[in-house]
Amino acid sequence: MNPRRVVATGTFDILHPGHLYYLKESKKMGDELWVIVARDANVKHKPCPIIPEEQRRQIVAALKPVDQAILGDQTDMFRPIKEIQPDVITIGFNQHFDVPTLRQQLIERGLAPEIVRIGKYEDGDLCSSRYVVQRIINVRGKNDENRV
Amino acid sequence: MNPRRVVATGTFDILHPGHLYYLKESKKMGDELWVIVARDANVKHKPCPIIPEEQRRQIVAALKPVDQAILGDQTDMFRPIKEIQPDVITIGFNQHFDVPTLRQQLIERGLAPEIVRIGKYEDGDLCSSRYVVQRIINVRGKNDENRV
């Protein structure tokens, strides 16, 4: 029997336990977790990532729940999904996909994976890359640059 | 035969490929990699970490080369090393230990691990937590806070 493939997606800019929770829960949905890491050029709904895309991919690939981490396609977000042929696609609690629309777009491409939304990780103070960034600006941005 | 235990240490504030390189190279020195993650209160030679200690520990523990990640002791840095009884201690290229002094301090505590300095990772633009922090301040610190 083929392994049950799960696809998770995200930017994974500055890694925090909320990311780990999403990836661990995603892995539980199958046997192989593939992560599609967003390209720098495609992050448009929030500020451009701090960490360059290849470094973000390397760090995600080094995490225990992750079997494969690849960069997304710059023009067709469905191309890697067609190649992976996942049985499940997981969506993070704060990812702005409309599930019925996504399902329809997948069907049009001959794909019918289960779509699972992973809940929010409720523990930890800094479980958002943008809070980490804001904290850095608050804590360090006003200091002597030589100390940073 | 007992597994050959390796101890690596560090703050691991904002994870980058330089950290991964240090941990992967450390793991190659033995069978089990234990990482002692610096306590917030003990980081005195550079600014206080951005990410709280328990979150830093969780992220390090989730990395493939790492078998165990524990927090350091707030008053005696040798206590966890005595408990782990490592065969090897690895030192990062930018960690300011004087190796003969460290070796002497270990001998006084009945420990004689091999001490190995891991070289610098030469690839990647942002292989330093402090460069990442500086980039955040440069790129985002001057923007509208709502965008961050």
What pLDDT, in 10s, does the model give residues B22-33? 999 999 999 999
Q: What is the pLDDT of residues A44-97, one digit of tens each?
A: 777 788 888 999 999 999 999 999 999 999 999 999 999 999 999 999 988 888
The better pLDDT of the pair A40, B134 is held by A40
Instruction: Give the pLDDT band (50/70/90) at residue A136.
Output: confident
The yes-or-no verdict on residue B86 having pLDDT over 80 is yes
The minimal CB distance from A50 to the residues B48, B132, B147 is found for: B132
> What are the pLDDT digits (tens) for B93-102?
888 888 999 9
Interface test with chain B among A13, A56, A140, by most B beta carbons within 10 Å = A140
Instruction: Spell out the residues 6+ positions from residue B64 whose beta carbon is closer than 8 angstroms to its own.
Output: A62, A63, A64
In the prediction, which pLDDT does B131 show?
A: 66
**B 38-77 → A contacts, CB under 8 A:** 47-48, 50-52, 54-55, 58-59, 62-65
Report the DSSP beta bridge partners of residue A68: A34
**Taking CB atoms and an 8 Å limit, are A55 and B137 in contact across chains?**
no
CB pairs under 8 A between A and B: 101
Phi and psi at A77, nearest 5°, equal -60, -20
Confidence bin at A127 (pLDDT 50/70/90): low
Contacts of residue A20 in chain B, CB cutoff 8 Å? 58-59, 62
Residues of B in contact with A141 (CB under 8 A): 137, 141
Contacts of residue B143 in chain A, CB cutoff 8 Å? 47
- The pLDDT value given to residue B53: 93
Q: How many CA atoms lie within 13 A of B114 on its CB side?
A: 11
The per-residue pLDDT for A95 is: 86
Residues of A in contact with B50 (CB under 8 A): 126, 132, 135-136, 139-140
User: Computed from CA positions of residues B51, B53, B56, B62, in that sequence, does the dihedral angle turn out positive or negative?
Assistant: negative
Structure tokens at B96: 């300011």
Average pLDDT estimate for B51-70: 96
Tell me how far apart the alpha carbons of residues A97 and A78 are, in angstroms, rounded to a whole number. Answer: 13
Mean pLDDT of A95-114: 94
* 3-state SS assignment for residue A19: helix
Lowest mean pLDDT segment, chosen from B52-56, B70-74, B134-138: B134-138
Q: What is the pLDDT of residues B117-148, one digit of tens each?
A: 999 887 655 556 666 677 777 766 655 444 33
- What predicted TM-score, i.e. pTM, was given to this entire model? 0.86
Helices A129-140 and B129-140 pack at an angle, to 10 degrees, of 90
- Give the three-state DSSP class for A24: helix
Higher pLDDT, B143 or B75: B75
